[in-house]
């Protein structure tokens, strides 16, 4: 019997954890965490441990299929790859001839190395600036504000920190094996912990100080921290004087923002706010981890501006254990092709100037354009690993109508999702174990290693293909140069361009540390001209952000109340008296994925909404009762999980839920998915386009349905 042991890296989330895959007679039979991998040191999360169940799941898409009934009717017939690609080339050619390249958009899910670079290369080759995704609410805001203030986003080095602040993030449930382990290791070393979260998450429960902030008010809390640190002279005066601009203006600006002022907004006791700010400012080095939650609001830019000002004024910049600048070598942007942006990049829909600098299209803007033909028609969409009906805002009233208006819609995925059920063509995609990949090319957390080569463990099953090969084949039929003929060629071309060797050589250099120099701003290593300082117009950290002022925004952070709240909309709050925050992570799922896996569903069979027992009693709800959650936009059902770890005025619901086992083409998406309660309409953050997914108003009742 032929037996192989493959050392690779898991691609089931962004983590890129080292994995050992056991293969017999060409079949994966077992996986283990690789103890030699510096990311996870042998640890694997439940998703990674269930990899074999995923790869050989009987419901995986196996062959190309073409719709035979109406969109969403669930009627399909198997076709060949040649038939599928010929049909796609014909339909896309018609759209291109009538509307030009801008008539086509591409949709991509989470930015993982097996799909995202392939999608980005398609954008460059076609060309189109419109990639439908969630960049406006995830990672891009942090990258954009990091660039505005520092010239580059400063990741956290929590592994060497003496104090760790997690602001709106629960690392044990986010890329569990990698980030969770790094956080736990820091706890074992005795690092002080501050957690800012409306919910007593596993991370908050281990914190020295937990600040139970009202959802959507993080900017007010950060302003109060700035007030304490500056007023009590806890900032690093020498660093501020030499390496920042606008400190005196910031100092004057935050005088009114006392912890007492913030208490009335955030519900965090003033003295607790003071304790946290003092602990952060006086414990060196300190690492700030801004989670995705603070990117999901109409005041995202101001919030990040305030939060990023904290490591800047305390001098926790580019030092071990602080917020650091990762090596420029082998960046995710270069692999995705952002260094070769299409000529029509500035014609992206949606007027969000900071978003445009990094990742230009907010999903709600593209769907709106499809529905209105404003500013131009978009008549075809190619979706790759994109669950728009699950992950986007108010999909039932917005996304579905847009898809139904398209001339052509294709989906490439591993399973038949509610989004795929609306397609004209459905294509079967490989898993990360059936294709070569590169991992760890971008992260919110400092990772001082070369990207990890993740060679495939087995050959593609059935007729599954990888996205890059399909794009190359499709565009080749249309006489358009994709830039590579296969995924492997794409990877090799990128590596040769960046470092002068290929994927095979990268495997030999597995887990090679990157050279790291600290305080690179002192050595001229951050600026293109080689002068000391930061890659900003002033050469310093810009606390007073003139770049924002030029865009018509506030150059210093200001607090803006969420558009729906007991204070902003008191009349609406009479009907919808509870604050809803969405998106709590599960350690066994990655957003909408893996609900098919029996091991994982056994652990987490249903969506759960966290409710305070006091609130539950008021509505006659007991633990494990089904609860109907309603907002002005829609409703869904989740099971009650009673907990004292949530404020009685707030509930916390899980996102992206559906039931793959449900045989109807909607697969229970409208029954379970909380995202249909989120608004897709203005107001948005004016610079980044983010939406208030974590601060809505709702009402609840016990559901009589079983």
Instruction: Give the integer Cα–Cα distance in Å for 274 and 261.
Output: 12
Nearest to 444 by CA among 138, 107, 202: 138
Residues 318-362: pLDDT tens digits?
A: 999 999 987 655 555 566 665 567 888 889 999 899 888 777 789
Instruction: Give the integer Cα–Cα distance in Å for 98 and 88.
Output: 16
Would you state the pLDDT for residue 494? 85
Predicted model pTM:
0.95
Band (pLDDT 50/70/90 cuts) for residue 512 is: confident
Domains of the chain (ranges; CATH) run: 3-55 (3.30.200.210), 147-327 (3.40.228.10), 570-702 (2.40.40.20)
Instruction: Give the integer Cα–Cα distance in Å for 6 and 220.
Output: 50
Is the bond preceding residue 127 a cis peptide, omega within 30 degrees? yes
Would you state the pLDDT for residue 445? 66
3-state secondary structure of 428: strand
Contact between 391 and 109 under an 8 Å Cβ cutoff? The reply is yes
What is the average pLDDT score of the chain? 91
Instruction: Give the integer Cα–Cα distance in Å for 425 and 79.
Output: 10
Place of tokens 């955030």: 266
CB-based contacts of 706, cutoff 8 Å, min separation 6: 626
For the chain, give the percent of residues with pLDDT over 70: 95
Instruction: Give the integer Cα–Cα distance in Å for 109 and 192.
Output: 35
Would you state the pLDDT for residue 203? 82
Instruction: Give the integer Cα–Cα distance in Å for 511 and 494.
Output: 19
Least confident of 116-130, 436-450, 642-656: 436-450
Would you state the pLDDT for residue 377? 98
More confident residue, 452 or 6: 6
Instruction: Give the integer Cα–Cα distance in Å for 658 and 27.
Output: 30
Eight-class DSSP state of 293: G
Band (pLDDT 50/70/90 cuts) for residue 28 is: very high
Q: Integer distance in angstroms from the first to the last C-alpha of the chain?
A: 50
Would you state the pLDDT for residue 705? 65
Length of the chain counted residue by residue: 706
Q: Is the dihedral of CA 548, 531, 443, 121 positive or negative?
A: positive
CB-based contacts of 605, cutoff 8 Å, min separation 6: none
Nearest to 158 by CA among 271, 324, 11: 324
Least confident of 129-133, 228-232, 478-482: 129-133
Place of tokens 């004292």: 644
Eight-class DSSP state of 180: I
More confident residue, 184 or 491: 491
Nearest to 104 by CA among 328, 349, 327, 335: 349
Residues 192-238: pLDDT tens digits?
A: 999 999 999 888 888 999 999 999 999 999 999 999 999 999 999 99
Judge whether residue 120 has pLDDT over 80: yes
Contact between 582 and 215 under an 8 Å Cβ cutoff? The reply is no
Judge whether residue 142 has pLDDT over 60: yes
From residue 112, give the alpha-carbon distance in Å to each of 120, 359, 386: 12, 15, 12
Would you state the pLDDT for residue 361? 85
Band (pLDDT 50/70/90 cuts) for residue 444 is: low
Tell me how far the alpha carbon of residue 539 is from its chain's centroid.
Answer: 30
Judge whether residue 177 has pLDDT over 80: no
Mean pLDDT across the stretch 249-254? 98
3-state secondary structure of 193: strand
Contact between 71 and 404 under an 8 Å Cβ cutoff? The reply is yes
Please give the full DSSP string across 52-88, using - where no structure is assigned: HHHHT-TTB--S-EEE-SSTTS--EEE--HHHHHHHH
Would you state the pLDDT for residue 143? 87
CB-based contacts of 401, cutoff 8 Å, min separation 6: 371
More confident residue, 448 or 408: 408
Residues 262-281: pLDDT tens digits?
A: 999 999 999 999 999 999 99
Residues 75-100: pLDDT tens digits?
A: 999 999 999 999 999 999 999 999 99
Q: Tokens for 307? A: 């939060």
Instruction: Give the integer Cα–Cα distance in Å for 607 and 656.
Output: 9
From residue 688, give the alpha-carbon distance in Å to each of 110, 295, 516, 553, 563: 18, 9, 31, 12, 16
- Cα angle value 594/597/602 (rounded, 5°): 110
Instruction: Give the integer Cα–Cα distance in Å for 558 and 226.
Output: 12
Band (pLDDT 50/70/90 cuts) for residue 449 is: confident
Instruction: Give the integer Cα–Cα distance in Å for 466 and 81.
Output: 13
Mean pLDDT across the stretch 5-17? 88
Mean pLDDT across the stretch 462-490? 95
Most confident range, picked from 24-33, 156-165, 354-363? 24-33
More confident residue, 539 or 138: 539
For the chain, give the percent of residues with pLDDT over 90: 73
> In terms of DSSP bridges, do strands 696-702 and 425-428 run parallel, antiparallel, or are they unpaired?
unpaired
Please give the full DSSP string across 145-179, using - where no structure is assigned: HHHHHHSS--EE-GGG-SEEEEES--GGGSSIIII
Mean pLDDT across the stretch 547-565? 96
Contact between 52 and 436 under an 8 Å Cβ cutoff? The reply is no
């Amino acid at each position: 019997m032929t037996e192989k042991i493959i050392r690779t890296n898991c691609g089931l989330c962004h983590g890129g954890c080292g994995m050992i895959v056991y293969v017999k007679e060409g079949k994966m039979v077992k996986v283990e965490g690789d103890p030699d991998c510096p990311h996870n040191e042998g640890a694997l999360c439940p998703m990674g441990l269930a990899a074999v169940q995923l790869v050989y799941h009987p419901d995986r898409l196996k062959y190309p299929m073409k719709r035979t009934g109406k969109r969403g009717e669930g009627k399909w017939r198997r076709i060949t790859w040649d038939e599928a690609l010929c049909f796609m080339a014909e339909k896309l050619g018609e759209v291109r001839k009538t509307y030009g390249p801008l008539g086509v958009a591409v949709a991509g899910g989470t930015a993982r190395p097996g799909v995202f670079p392939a999608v980005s290369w398609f954008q460059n080759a076609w060309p189109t600036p419109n990639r439908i995704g969630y960049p406006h609410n995830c990672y891009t805001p942090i990258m954009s504000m990091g660039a505005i203030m520092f010239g580059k986003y400063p990741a956290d080095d929590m592994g060497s920190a003496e104090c760790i602040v997690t602001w709106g993030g629960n690392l044990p449930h986010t890329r569990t094996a990698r980030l969770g382990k790094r956080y736990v290791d820091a706890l074992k070393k005795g690092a002080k912990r501050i957690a800012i979260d409306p919910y007593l998450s596993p991370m908050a429960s281990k914190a020295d100080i937990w600040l139970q902030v009202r959802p959507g008010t993080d900017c007010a809390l950060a302003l109060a921290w700035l007030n304490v640190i500056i007023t009590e002279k806890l900032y690093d005066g020498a660093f501020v004087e030499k390496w920042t601009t606008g400190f005196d203006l910031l100092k004057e600006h935050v005088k009114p923002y006392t912890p007492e002022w913030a208490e009335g907004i955030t519900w965090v006791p003033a003295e607790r706010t003071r304790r946290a700010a003092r602990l952060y400012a006086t414990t060196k080095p300190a690492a700030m981890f801004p989670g995705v939650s603070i990117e999901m609001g109409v005041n995202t830019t101001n919030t990040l501006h305030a939060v990023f000002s904290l490591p800047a004024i305390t001098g926790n910049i580019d030092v071990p254990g602080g917020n650091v600048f990762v090596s420029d070598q082998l960046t995710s942007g270069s692999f995705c092709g952002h260094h070769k942006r299409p000529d029509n990049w500035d014609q992206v829909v949606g007027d969000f100037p900071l978003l445009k600098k990094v990742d230009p299209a907010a999903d709600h803007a593209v769907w709106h354009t499809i529905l209105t033909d404003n500013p131009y028609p978009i008549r075809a969409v190619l979706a790759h690993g994109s669950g728009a009906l699950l992950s986007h805002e108010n999909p039932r009233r917005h996304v579905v109508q847009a898809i139904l208006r398209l001339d052509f819609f294709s989906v490439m995925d591993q399973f038949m999702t509610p989004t795929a059920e609306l397609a004209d063509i459905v294509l079967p995609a490989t898993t990360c174990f059936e294709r070569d990949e590169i991992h760890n090319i971008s992260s919110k957390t400092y990772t001082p290693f070369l990207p990890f080569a993740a060679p495939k463990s087995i050959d593609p099953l059935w007729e599954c293909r990888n996205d890059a090969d399909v794009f190359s084949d499709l565009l080749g039929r249309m006489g358009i140069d994709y830039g590579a003929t296969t995924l492997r060629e794409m990877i090799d071309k990128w590596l040769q361009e960046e470092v002068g060797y290929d994927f095979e050589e990268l495997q030999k250099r597995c887990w090679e540390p990157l050279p790291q120099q600290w305080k690179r701003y002192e050595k001229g290593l951050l600026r293109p001209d080689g002068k000391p300082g930061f890659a900003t117009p002033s050469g310093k950290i810009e606390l007073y952000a003139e770049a924002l002022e030029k865009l018509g925004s506030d150059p210093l952070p200001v607090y803006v109340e969420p558009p729906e709240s007991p204070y902003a909309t008191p009349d609406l709050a009479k009907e919808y008296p509870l604050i809803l925050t969405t998106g709590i992570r599960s350690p066994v799922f990655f957003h909408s994925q893996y609900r098919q896996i029996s091991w994982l569903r056994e652990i987490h069979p249903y969506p759960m909404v966290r409710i305070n027992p006091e609130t539950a009693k008021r509505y006659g709800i007991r633990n494990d009762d089904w609860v109907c959650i309603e907002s002005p936009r829609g409703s869904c059902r989740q099971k009650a999980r009673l907990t004292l770890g949530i404020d009685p005025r707030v509930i916390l619901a899980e996102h992206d839920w559906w039931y793959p086992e449900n045989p109807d083409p909607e697969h229970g998406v409208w029954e379970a998915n909380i995202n249909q309660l989120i608004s897709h309409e203005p107001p948005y953050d004016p610079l980044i386009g983010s939406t208030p997914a974590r601060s809505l108003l709702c009402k609840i009742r016990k559901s009589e349905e079983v």
